[in-house]
Amino acid sequence: MTILATRNDVEIKNVVKRFGSNTVLNGINLEIKQGELLTLLGPSGCGKTTTLNLIAGFLEADEGDVYIKGKNVTHIPPYKRDLGMVFQTYSLFPHMTVYENLDFGLRLRKVPKPKKQNRIARALDLVKMSGLEHRYPRELSGGQRQRVAIARALVVEPELLLLDEPLSNLDAKLRHELRAEIKRLQKEIGVTTIFVTHDQEEALSMSDRVVVMNGGKIEQISSPTTIYNHPETEFVFQFIGKSNCFHGTVAEINNRKISVQLEDGWVTFVDADNIMGSERTCRPGDEVKLYIRPEKLSLASAEQSGHLEHFHKATITQMNYLGASWEIDATLLGKSVQILTPMYDASWQIGKEVMIGWNPSDIMLIKK
């Protein structure tokens, strides 16, 4: 048995998982730090649940190894791993009360009665369910059931908490509430947690680090702000938020500023730090795509546009009021672009000409 440094609570090394001829995880490497809340984020079918099941021991890897607290658990069954799990669908025992649901795992672990009562009371208090010990799952709302499921996972004081889309079946308001609650709980208890979701907002708002997965591979592992502002691949950029895309050709590179000639001959600059893709370099003559997020584009009248390094004439084609912001479509360089802005100017009207501006630090570049 190999003992690794205990700095990481979980390590996944070169893991490959196949179902028949279908390779669903293709060389996964991942390290999860002690006390960290790490999210696996990606579209349906990318291999998130499979990764979680490999950590839990419900599946075995075809290649590679899984370590928990430095111990190689690749061939160790789930019941010998010290884990708490919460799934997307309510996994409470329907014929047991809330108290009995929490008691179940403690009985298996032969925790003595007075200690058990204390731990159940504390777990229910943590998820704000005290007083409902004698209810059956059918007597609880969806959000309450997921709270109990979380309490049941926590009451055994696991080394590792695994949550597979636990909020997906709840309505938006409840999802927001529980999101914040799980984050608070996790920090309070300090339990190392892996949270699976396909919802980018959920991942960004909850995680210490986000793992973006695509087609059985990891695209990027970074903090939420880096994932959003400095995506390393085109997939991450597009999956995480909305985007505007322009096509162009690299004209020259000077002092880490890349000048790109757009389709109509117009030139803009891009920071060399903002190159995506595996090479992270480009040369004059390269065909490239430029990406910019809608909220990084500014709308201004001609007089106001001075603070932006680059601006260009555009025509407004559509305006949608979203409450906290406006979503404005415009035609820029013959293309439709979207701008998201909290500001409103009465002179902005459909058909009106405006200036659209941006800063080179907000544009991401990828070679075609």
Ligand X SMILES: Nc1ncnc2c1ncn2[C@@H]1O[C@H](COP(=O)(O)OP(=O)(O)O)[C@@H](O)[C@H]1O
Residues that bind ligand X (CB under 6 A): 19, 24, 42, 44-50
Is 247:211 a contact under the CB 8 Å cutoff?
Answer: no
What minimum distance in Å lies between the beta carbon of 49 and Mg ion? 3
Is 41:204 a contact under the CB 8 Å cutoff?
Answer: no
What minimum distance in Å lies between the beta carbon of 269 and Mg ion? 41
- Which does residue 231 touch among Mg ion, ligand X, none (CB within 5 to 8 A, set by kind)? none
Residue (220 or 268) nearer to ligand X, CB: 220
- Which does residue 241 touch among Mg ion, ligand X, none (CB within 5 to 8 A, set by kind)? none
Residue nearest to Mg ion (CB): 49
**What is the rounded distance in angstroms from the CA atom of residue 160 to the CA atom of residue 353?**
56
Residue (49 or 193) nearer to Mg ion, CB: 49
Residue (163 or 282) nearer to ligand X, CB: 163
- Which does residue 47 touch among Mg ion, ligand X, none (CB within 5 to 8 A, set by kind)? ligand X
- Which does residue 46 touch among ligand X, Mg ion, none (CB within 5 to 8 A, set by kind)? ligand X
Enclosing H/E stretch for 246:
strand 244-254
State the residue for tokens 């001075």: 306
What minimum distance in Å lies between the beta carbon of 212 and Mg ion? 15
- Which does residue 57 touch among Mg ion, ligand X, none (CB within 5 to 8 A, set by kind)? none
Give DSSP secondary structure letters for 106-148. HHHTT--HHHHHHHHHHHHHHTT-TT-TT--GGGS-HHHHHHH
Say which DSSP state 177 is in.
H
What minimum distance in Å lies between the beta carbon of 235 and Mg ion? 18
**What is the rounded distance in angstroms from the CA atom of residue 7 to the CA atom of residue 25?**
25
Instruction: Give the binding site for Mg ion (CB under 5 A).
Output: 49
Residue (163 or 354) nearer to ligand X, CB: 163
What minimum distance in Å lies between the beta carbon of 46 and ligand X? 4
Closest CA relative to residue 246, chosen from 359, 336, 137: 336
Q: Which residues is 83 bridged to in the sheet?
A: 160
